[in-house]
Amino acid sequence: MIFIDACFKRSTPTAPVWLMRQAGRYLEEYRATRAKAKDFIDFCRRPELAAEATLQPIDILNVDAAILFSDILVVPLEMGMQLEFVEKHGPILHNPIRTQSDLDRLSDHSVDRLGYVYDAVKLVRAKLDQKKALIGFAGSPWTLATYMIEGGGSKNYAIIKKMVYSQSELLHKLLDRLSRAVGGYLLRQIEAGANAVQIFDSWGGALEKSAFFEFSWRYMLQIADRIKAEYPKIPIILFSKGAGCYLENVSGNFDVFGVDWNTPIERAKDILFDRYALQGNMEPARVYSKNAIEEGALEIARVMGKENGYIFNLGHGMQPDFSRQNAKYLVDLIHETFAR
Ligand code: CP3
């Protein structure tokens, strides 16, 4: 699997490519699969449908890795929170976590209740080309906590940040519980057949430097340590959106650092590439234009083109109105441009 080889900096014939949020509404096939489910949560809970959505970008784009179709919010859902996805608005978590008694009502059995995810992993791994990797994933404790405390998406993270500076003990209790749940969840995905795992810390960048390491990065490393102790040969990818200013302090036992689109890849290379493989980081909006794709890909190739241990990706996720033709064009262009 060239994706796994690149994670461990072994030589590969070209740079492997996959795209964050590669399964999604920009594909008509995805929309057709989603229409078979009652709603988005039902979709996530049906392994045959999740497997179908996972495999679509492999067939359509020829990416080198599949990422399991699911959502980071299935963990709070199975901890007992009431989750709803509202069309054109996003996720809502009812009765958000604000107090110790809110914490007390969360279940510690989410790992066992997520069997439908492990079933989807098994179905995908049985059908997926042996040369392609299957990436399992979870949200970081911090990013999950933002949804659980704010009650949904947030612009300024006012409630959770108030907790950072005035109720840090309570927040650490929640993060610790999430860290255990996420660690167990990723281990079970690996047991079911996932070949690598990525932790999405989409909102780590909401924190100033010291708080980022205390409330977000530390818990990601705790999970990584637990996985490495059991599965040293499963690559771990950590992706923190907005952590580009904090690279000097990045360390720990993981394999691939996911570079977001705000971070100059040259800077990530200078600071991290002697210790970690790198994944990223084309600005997703470039997918709107073939010229912009070419320009972006060439710029990254100038920096990373000759290097083993580099995985092409966007610096954040695909959007619903992106064109599949352009996405396919991008994947083919990368395979050609980075061929050794
Ligand atoms: O990458 C993939 O193709 C795998 C599937 C995947 C989804 N969500 C499917 C999804 C992954 C890896 C995620 C992760 C996720 N979910 C993140 C972290 C990644 C990131 O982008 O930073 C976050 C923050 C979420 C939470 C979430 N889920 C939001 C905010 C939304 C609504 C936003 C929207 O686009 O409507 C979702 C819903 C969701 N998750 C969709 C998909 C394909 C769209 C739902 C639909 O089909 O209606």
DSSP per-residue letters across 53-100: HHHHHHHHH--SEEE----TTHHHHHTT-EEEEETTTEEEEES---SH
Which residues are near ligand 1 (CB < 6 Å)?
20-25, 34, 40, 67, 69, 71-73, 85, 90-91, 137, 153, 200, 202, 317
25 is catalytic: yes
Instruction: Please give the residue range of the domain that contains residue 210.
Output: 2-337
Ligand 1 centroid distance, CA of 71 (Å):
6
- What are the strands, taking DSSP E only, across the chain? 65-67, 82-86, 90-94, 133-139, 196-201, 236-240, 256-258, 277-282, 310-314
Ligand 1 centroid distance, CA of 21 (Å):
7
DSSP code of residue 260: P
Give me the percent of the chain exceeding a pLDDT of 70.
100
If one counts the domains in the chain, the total is 1
What six digits make up the tokens of 290? 């073939």
| Mean pLDDT calculated for residue range 247-256 | 98
What pLDDT is stored for residue 306 in this prediction?
Answer: 86
Instruction: Kindly tell me if the per-residue pLDDT of 128 is higher than 90.
Output: yes
Out of 64, 71, 201, 255, pick the active-site residue.
71
What pLDDT is stored for residue 123 in this prediction?
Answer: 98
Instruction: Kindly tell me if the per-residue pLDDT of 72 is higher than 90.
Output: yes
Instruction: For residue range 169-212, list pLDDT tens digits in order.
Output: 999 999 999 999 999 999 999 999 999 999 999 999 999 999 99
Instruction: For residue range 257-296, list pLDDT tens digits in order.
Output: 999 999 999 999 999 999 999 999 999 999 999 999 999 9
For residue 71, the ligand 1 atom closest to its alpha carbon is 8
- What is the value of pTM for the model shown? 0.97
Query: Residue 85's domain is classified under what CATH number?
Result: 3.20.20.210
Confidence class for position 66, pLDDT limits 50, 70, 90 = very high
71 is catalytic: yes
147 is catalytic: yes
Name the residue at shortest CA distance from atom 46 of ligand 1: 40
Ligand 1 centroid distance, CA of 70 (Å):
8
Tell me the helix, strand and coil percentages in the chain, rounded to 5.
Answer: 55, 15, 35
| Mean pLDDT calculated for residue range 132-144 | 98
- Choosing from 67, 85, 89, 316 the residue with most ligand 1 atoms within 8 A of its CB, the one to mutate for a pocket test is 85
For residue 153, the ligand 1 atom closest to its alpha carbon is 30
Out of 30, 118, 147, 185, pick the active-site residue.
147
What pLDDT is stored for residue 57 in this prediction?
Answer: 98
Length of the chain measured in residues: 340
What pLDDT is stored for residue 279 in this prediction?
Answer: 98
What pLDDT is stored for residue 187 in this prediction?
Answer: 98
| Mean pLDDT calculated for residue range 157-166 | 98
Instruction: For residue range 308-337, list pLDDT tens digits in order.
Output: 999 999 999 999 999 999 999 999 999 999
Q: What mean pLDDT is reported for the chain? A: 98
